[in-house]
Each structure stands twice: as structure tokens, then as C-alpha cells.
Chains A and B, each alone.
Chain A
């Protein structure tokens, strides 16, 4: 081999040794962290979308419970209420819920037969509000009172607060988890850089004494660990995207977890994973390497 060596065709070799035993383990650990971070981000987006959807649904409608007065039949009172509400500004549509449907709503608590037939089941009017300028509960109440209908307006504000709150908690939790994963990845990479520098102390020392600048040596470690982390980010992010795609595909239109509807575009969240992992690794490796090199004379 040595006899065939041609100096004219020589290309400089990498100054850092290739493939240390712990490099594979580092790629695995960082890939797992990237997978968890990307999965967290994808599920956070879908949770946020679900919460937003529920809030929009509740915000765009109201339910009016009609109580009959005097000799007026429940159907008549409900019809009058629907008529009064339909003419109110900010209401797109007001429909009387048929008795059968109202009974169906009570069925889970009272059963199918028996006492439900004997009870004065309240009639309901569902109101679809104008999304651009929805009527307030007060306005609906006023319209009903003007029409002389005894009724209670439920604008779902009680539920909406809880749902919006739940959505906010999901968002904060997702961002916190994501930040935690990124910090953990940075800590792992910083630790690995320190271990790498210790393992290659002789190489660093020779380069240092031969005239390499601190920045040059730091660049070597920065490039090495950024490349490893970018690969780990690709593997981890890809695995998270595959998992999310699997959940989306297996469950039909709503996904395997209907409460968390995953959109195809959500998978793009995993796209910057190699870049972010590489960047975090580059910064962690550079800071660590410079700290250790500067301890040398």
C-alpha cells in the first residue's frame, strides 16, 4: 500500500479521529430527544387545533331553554322564541329542537321509556350566531323578553372558559416540554464534547502546540458534533413524523386519536429538527471546547 502512495494525489485527512465508540450512543440519545421533542410539537399543534375548534363551535352557537307560561303549548312558545331570535341582529339562524331530539339528550340519564314521557321536557331552541358579529347573550335575552317568552339563554361561556384554559395549558406544556428536550439535548452534547475532548486530549494538545488557534480546534469539534446531531435530528424528527403519519393514516379521516386531529401539514414541524439539533450541538460543542482549550497555556 505504501509503495503505491502518490503524494500528488494526497488529500488531507480529517484531523479528528473518526467514529469513536461513544459516538453511536450519542447519536442514539440525541435522536431519542429529537423524536420526543418533535412528537411533543406535533401533538401540541393538534391539541391546540382541537381546543380551538371546540371553542369556535361553542362560540358560534347558543342554546335557549324555553319554559311555558299559562295555557301556551311548549311548541308554540318555542316557535315564538325562534321567530323572535331569528330577527335579532347577530343571529344567523334559530331552530326549534324537536321534542324527540330533546328527549334523546336526556335519555342517557333518564332512560328510554318510563318517566321521560311523563316529564315536562323543556323545549330547546338552537341559535346559530353570525360569526362576524355574534349577538351577545344579553341581546338574545332582551329579544326573548320583548317577545314575552320565559326562557334561559346558555351561550356556553362557562364551558368555553374551561376549553380555552385547557388549550392554553396544552400550549404551555408543549412549549415547556420542547424547551426541556432542547436543553437536555444541549446538555448531552456538551457532556459528550467534554468527553470527546478528554478522549482526544493528545490530539488537541499536539494541534495546540503546533500553532492551531483556539477557534480552529473549536471548529473541528463544532463541525463534528453538529454533523452528528444533525443526523440524530434527521432520525428523531423522521421517526416522529412517521409515527404521526401512521396515527393519521390508521384512524381514517379523524386519525387514530380523534380528540387530537393530526393534519398532514403538522408533520412539517419535524422538518427543521436536523437544523435545530445541529445548531444546538454546534453552540454547545463550541462553548465547551473553547472552555477546555482555554484552560491550556
Chain B
């Protein structure tokens, strides 16, 4: 597990305690999950298709509520959280959805701007960051393109850009490199690693065991809705150095923009 040198006190970003998830009357998709993600950690979540990786991520990004057990996010018991507080928790989470979930009626630029708009930021404070990020993910010439005109890989890169643009405290990515070629996959992984180095907690669901192994990052495995392996700690050396992509250069704004959007900056119920 990667610990940040400048953090005196490690806080827990996600804690599951005996969590189960059931869809309708079907058997439990997730059973008795007890996990803990420390701030600044980087984990892979592995397991075969249908094992429950996406369901676990959905519980963290509050798309579902657990059928049983207790989930804490940023130290807050979500079972006791008021509904009005949930959007502010979600803004602290960046999600790369497996289905990407792009807004098809908005341009690439507008898609990436969505988290900033929803948190009430003024366009002047983020539009150059978006341009830089889109440039970095290879969509510099397609900022004004509609998602339907983009290839699968381009759509995935767009979804990744949207997930990281607000500098969330935790990034959840569901098969984020599934549609990318090896080079772009490694590049995106390097971005996540660099964001993690700056303090972002990262959890990536992937069934690509080669990618997981080559990253040297810790992983936990899930099968049939149950955790089948304990956490693997990272090696003491920074595994990002082993990726050989350090020279690619990350988008500058990730160093300028502070981690996550504070609640105080957010404008609730901003008019459309």
C-alpha cells in the first residue's frame, strides 16, 4: 500500500464491514465483504466476469445501497447519511464507468466539464485545465466532437478525463483500459499512478492480470461475490517507476489543482 510521505495521519477513505448486496430477490451478488481503503492507497480489484467487481464499485460510488452490513465513506456511515449530503460525497469520487456513460448530446469538452459545472465552478477556473487534459489523452483535436463520432478508445479516454478532471479524492475505474491499445493503457495507468502519488486513492477493477502484475500494485481478488484473497501490499519501491512511462509527462493542472473540490466551494442547486 502506498503511503504518502507528507501525511502524518492515514485516514480510511472506504470501509466495508460485513457488506452484502442483493438485487431484488436474487441470491446475494456480494457477500460478507469487509475491506478498507486507506487514503492515498492504490489497489486493483481482480476477478472473473460476473464476480461482483462492478457491483462493489457501485456500492462505493453510491449507485446502490447495501442489503446488509455497514459502509463508511470518508469516515461517514452512508447508512446514516442524509440524502442531501450524498451529492457532496459523490463529488469527492471520480468514476470511470464500464459503460462510460457519456452524455451523447454534449461535446467532448462539455462532457469533461460536467463535474466542474455540477460543483458550481466558474468556467474561467477550469476550461484551460480541460483543454490540457483532453490534449493529454489525445483528444486535443476533438474537443468539440460529439461522443458518437469518437472511437471506442477515444470514448474511454474521454470518460477517464471526466473522472479525473475535478481531482477527486478517490478514483474508481471499471476496466478503464479495456478499449485502449497497450501504449495508451500504460499511459492512463501512469496518470492514475501520478494522481495517486499526489494523494488520490485509486481502485481499478480489471480482469487483465498481466496489467495488474506489470503495475506491481496491490490487488485483491473477488470471486462469486466473496473476497478470496487478502490485500497485497505494494513493494517498497515506487512501482510507477517500473512502468517506464515516467517521461510521458502528466497534465500540468493535476499539480496546480488541489485534491478534490471542497464542499465550501460547491454551489448547491446551481441554476441550469
Q: Which chain A residues border B83 with CB–CB below 8 Å?
A: 214, 294
* B117→A12 contact, CB < 8 A: yes
* B145→A2 contact, CB < 8 A: yes
B135 CB, nearest partner CB in chain A, Å: 10
Residues of chain B at interface, number, CB under 8 A: 40
A212 to B83, CA, bound (A): 12
- Which of A2, A7, A17, A203 has the most B CB atoms < 10 Å from its CB? A7
Q: Give the contact stretch, choosing among A30-38, A131-139, A161-169, A215-223.
A: A215-223
- Binary CB contact string for chain B from 65 to 103 against chain A (1 if under 8 A, 0 otherwise): 100000000000000000110011011000100000101
- Binary CB contact string for chain A from 226 to 251 against chain B (1 if under 8 A, 0 otherwise): 00000000000000000000000000
A212 CB, nearest partner CB in chain B, Å: 5
* A10→B103 contact, CB < 8 A: no
B246 CB, nearest partner CB in chain A, Å: 27
A115 CB, nearest partner CB in chain B, Å: 82
Known: A210-B115, A210-B118. A219 touches B272 (CB 8 A): yes
Known: A209-B63, A210-B115, A211-B118. A12 touches B110 (CB 8 A): yes
Q: In the complex, which of the residues A5, A7, A216 contacts B269, with contact meaning CB atoms closer than 8 Å?
A: A216
* A7→B118 contact, CB < 8 A: no
A97 to B128, CA, bound (A): 94
Considering the complex, which residues of chain B in the window 110-131 have a beta carbon less than 8 Å from any beta carbon of chain A? 110, 113-115, 117-119, 123, 127-128, 130-131
B125 CB, nearest partner CB in chain A, Å: 13
**B106 located at the interface, meaning its Cβ lies under 8 Å from any Cβ of chain A in the complex:** yes
**A207 located at the interface, meaning its Cβ lies under 8 Å from any Cβ of chain B in the complex:** yes
- Which of A1, A2, A16, A18 has the most B CB atoms < 10 Å from its CB? A2
* A7→B105 contact, CB < 8 A: no
Q: Give the contact stretch, choosing among B7-15, B136-144, B182-190, B195-203.
A: B136-144
Known: A7-B130, A202-B101, A219-B269. A12 touches B90 (CB 8 A): no
Known: A11-B123, A13-B107, A18-B105. A209 touches B131 (CB 8 A): no
**A297 located at the interface, meaning its Cβ lies under 8 Å from any Cβ of chain B in the complex:** yes
Main secondary structure of the interface of B (DSSP, over half): loop
A270 CB, nearest partner CB in chain B, Å: 29
A150 to B95, CA, bound (A): 101
* A7→B143 contact, CB < 8 A: yes
Q: Which chain B residues border A16 with CB–CB below 8 Å?
A: 272
* A216→B106 contact, CB < 8 A: no
A213 to B272, CA, bound (A): 12
A295 CB, nearest partner CB in chain B, Å: 12
* A203→B103 contact, CB < 8 A: yes
Q: Which chain B residues border A220 with CB–CB below 8 Å?
A: 272
Q: 27 pairs across A/B with beta carbons < 8 Å?
A: A1-B144, A2-B141, A2-B142, A2-B143, A5-B109, A7-B143, A8-B127, A10-B123, A11-B123, A13-B110, A15-B106, A15-B117, A202-B101, A203-B103, A203-B105, A206-B101, A207-B118, A209-B101, A212-B118, A214-B83, A215-B268, A216-B269, A216-B270, A219-B269, A219-B271, A219-B272, A297-B64
A interface residues with partner B (beta carbon < 8 Å):
1-3, 5, 7-8, 10-18, 202-203, 205-207, 209-216, 219-220, 223, 294, 297
4 nearest CB pairs, A to B = A211-B91, A7-B131, A5-B144, A215-B269
